[in-house]
Amino acid sequence: MNLNAYGYGPAHARRWILVDVGVTFGSLDTPGIDLICADPDYLIGEQIDAIFLTHAHEDHIGAVGLLYPRLQTKAPIYATPFTTELVRSKMLERGVDPRWLKPVALGGTVVAGPFSVTYVTLTHSIPEPNALAIETPAGMILHTGDWKIDPDPQIGGPTDIKGLTALGDRGVLAMVCDSTNVFEEGESGSEETVKQGLIELIAEQKQAVAVTTFASNVARVKSIIEAAELAGRSVCLVGRSMHRITDAAKAVGILPRNMEFVNEADASSIPAENILYLCTGSQGEARAALARIARKDHRNVSLHEGDCVIFSCRIIPGNEREIFQLQNSLADQGVRIITPRMVKDPIHVSGHPCRGELQRMYQWVRPEIAVPVHGERRHIVEHAAYAKSLQVPQSIAPRNGSLVRLAPGKAEIIDLVPAGRLYLDGKFLVPEGAQGINERRKLAENGFVLASVVIDEAGDVIDGPVVVVRGFSEADGRLADESLDELDEAAENAVQKMKRKTRLEDDLVEREIGRALRKACDSTFGRRPMIDVTVLRS
């Protein structure tokens, strides 16, 4: 969930530009939360001259519609045409006026306050990836965004080596650079090799084929479509993201505007040996197309014994459980699973630079300072050390919230600013420590107990206490969703032991019943559930 800020000038009059405003996704640790983004509180009220987007991956653009209103700014948002197309739809979905979104030509330059920002063409796993050459009176910073070096990227131009070398000749103060594959030797590989691998693999299949990959990798999508056509198969797009990305690519001319696909409702009428389903859900996402096919609850698409699913992707760390469950579900139905590790020729390559590519980038740019970003802590620390080994004079290993002074003087971390997370909880952005999310975690782990009792104005018990539980199992495995004797008895004893005067105070009654139920739940079930006690007066 990238959000980078570059400031110039004294603290009391600092001018800022932002680079990328992305999201990450919820997990089992954040029940009910789909999207998470950085908290921009530190920047609210600051002079933001512009927002620049490097490319259209969700972790770089997904929070534009969420955070733009929160920033309380009217700063223009700059992006190249394909990224603009996708961001505009996201802003409209969130009810944000897209008039602040300004398309920039590939290689274009934008002046914003004391900053002059030039887009530099790179290659990655999505169309129009760019580095940003950020010129300031104090020096130039190259912000790489996500990148790799692909000599034959299928879509778009190759890495602008001449442009990068020219920047290095002029002098680059700092390079803020992708760290994702810093532990991998060599180079990440070309999409051309993947295309050839897919052509051969798909041609070998005898029944229906489904291929899943990241929808944003338009070059991969194009290669899959070409491989299908060579194998005599029509292509059916399955999943909203596949349609959204291909529509955007056609709108800006990256894919042919007349490219057509088989409608989901018509695909079942095509012989199995002549159809290829191009599906979302490569990471096991429960609501994505492939998971619904695996559960047999997709309204139009189904797979059968002998069909195959090709995973043209990698497993993102943290998604192993969901992906393996998905693959097991498909295998249980007789569907063959093919992953990159199972075939000789490549059917996936990374979109991020390995050590060999990092070395070449540093040789071209020759920065005075290396600032690794985009990776876990271990990646950033390793990248900082690797840059030093490549004779970069200074290297900084920042954390989330690090305020780094690049000039004047020696580069150093001078402060740690607030850098929390915001969770999209339904319609609202809430802090990561929001009470509702904490309660959901507790409910998921230990269940819920509700107790109610009716007491009159004299302190006599008119009805109850009645105890109801949720999320408990009895010894035989049945759901314990009615009152349980042990808990009923504990609540009743607690009320009976109270003095009449005590029963006249709601908070005291709630506290005593809650304490008794907490103790009984622990001793009887070994659980510490959320407990809610309601006192009614008659």
pLDDT digits (tens, 9 = 90+) for 44-96: 999 999 999 999 999 999 999 999 999 999 999 999 999 999 999 999 999 99
Q: Is residue 442 part of a domain?
A: no
32/143 same-domain check: yes
Helix spans in 295-407 (H):
320-332, 355-365, 377-389
Mean pLDDT value of segment 356-382: 97
**CATH number where 36 lies:** 3.60.15.10
34/155 same-domain check: yes
Other Cβ atoms closer than 10 A to 413? 14
- pTM to 2 decimals? 0.88
pLDDT classification of 273: cutoffs 50, 70, 90: very high
Res 63: pLDDT: 96
Of the three residues 378, 405, 431, the one that is the final residue of a domain is 431
404/384 same-domain check: yes
**CATH number where 198 lies:** 3.40.50.10710
Cβ atoms of 381 and 397 closer than 8 Å = yes
The share of the chain scoring above pLDDT 70, in percent, equals: 98
Res 236: pLDDT: 98
**How far is 195 from 349, CA to CA, in rounded Å?**
10
| Domain with 290 in it | 191-338
**How far is 294 from 332, CA to CA, in rounded Å?**
10
| pLDDT for 474 beyond 80 | no
61/148 same-domain check: yes
355/282 same-domain check: no
**How far is 177 from 352, CA to CA, in rounded Å?**
11
pLDDT (tens digit per residue) in 196-223? 999 999 999 999 999 999 999 999 999 9
pLDDT (tens digit per residue) in 18-39? 999 999 988 777 878 889 999 9
Q: How many domains does the chain have?
A: 3
pLDDT classification of 359: cutoffs 50, 70, 90: very high
The pairs formed by 392-401 with CB atoms below 8 angstroms and a separation of 24 or more are 392/362, 392/367, 392/368, 393/368, 393/369, 394/368, 394/369, 394/370, 395/369, 395/370, 395/371, 396/369, 396/370, 396/371, 396/372, 397/372, 398/371, 398/372, 398/373, 400/38
Other Cβ atoms closer than 10 A to 420? 14
Other Cβ atoms closer than 10 A to 522? 12
Q: Which of 243-257, 472-486, 517-531 has the lowest mean pLDDT?
A: 472-486
pLDDT classification of 41: cutoffs 50, 70, 90: very high
Q: Is residue 175 part of a domain?
A: yes
298/236 same-domain check: yes
363 forms beta bridges with: none
pLDDT classification of 305: cutoffs 50, 70, 90: very high
Res 538: pLDDT: 80
Return phi, psi of residue 207, to 5°: -120, -160
**How far is 187 from 175, CA to CA, in rounded Å?**
20
Q: Is residue 48 part of a domain?
A: yes
Mean predicted lDDT score pLDDT of the chain: 93
247/174 same-domain check: no
Q: Which of 65-79, 199-213, 405-419, 429-443 has the lowest mean pLDDT?
A: 429-443
Q: Is residue 42 part of a domain?
A: yes
Res 483: pLDDT: 56
327/397 same-domain check: no
**How far is 346 from 340, CA to CA, in rounded Å?**
6
3 state SS of 193: helix
Of the three residues 431, 455, 473, the one that is the final residue of a domain is 431
Of the three residues 291, 315, 338, the one that is the final residue of a domain is 338
Q: Is residue 440 part of a domain?
A: no
Res 203: pLDDT: 98
Q: Is residue 278 part of a domain?
A: yes
Residue 37's contacts (CB-CB under 8 Å, 6 or more residues apart) are 1, 3, 21, 22, 23, 24, 62, 63, 66, 67, 421, 422, 424, 429
CA distances from 196 to 52, 77, 155, 190, 345 (A): 35, 38, 15, 11, 8
134/165 same-domain check: yes
Report for 134-138, 482-486, 522-526: range of highest mean pLDDT: 134-138
359/427 same-domain check: yes
Q: How large is the C-alpha radius of gyration of the chain?
A: 28
Q: Is residue 437 part of a domain?
A: no
Res 362: pLDDT: 98
61/160 same-domain check: yes
Res 427: pLDDT: 86
58/139 same-domain check: yes
| pLDDT for 470 beyond 90 | no
Q: Checking DSSP bridges between strand 15-21 and strand 461-470, what pairing results, if any?
A: unpaired
| pLDDT for 179 beyond 90 | yes
Question: Residues for the chain: how many in total?
Answer: 538
**CATH number where 452 lies:** 3.10.20.580
Res 482: pLDDT: 56
Strand (E) or helix (H) holding 441: helix 435-446
Q: Is residue 145 part of a domain?
A: yes
User: What percent of the chain is helix, strand and coil (3-state, nearest 5)?
Assistant: 35, 25, 40
Other Cβ atoms closer than 10 A to 64? 27
Tell which residue, 446, 410, 441, 411, has the closest CA to residue 425: 441
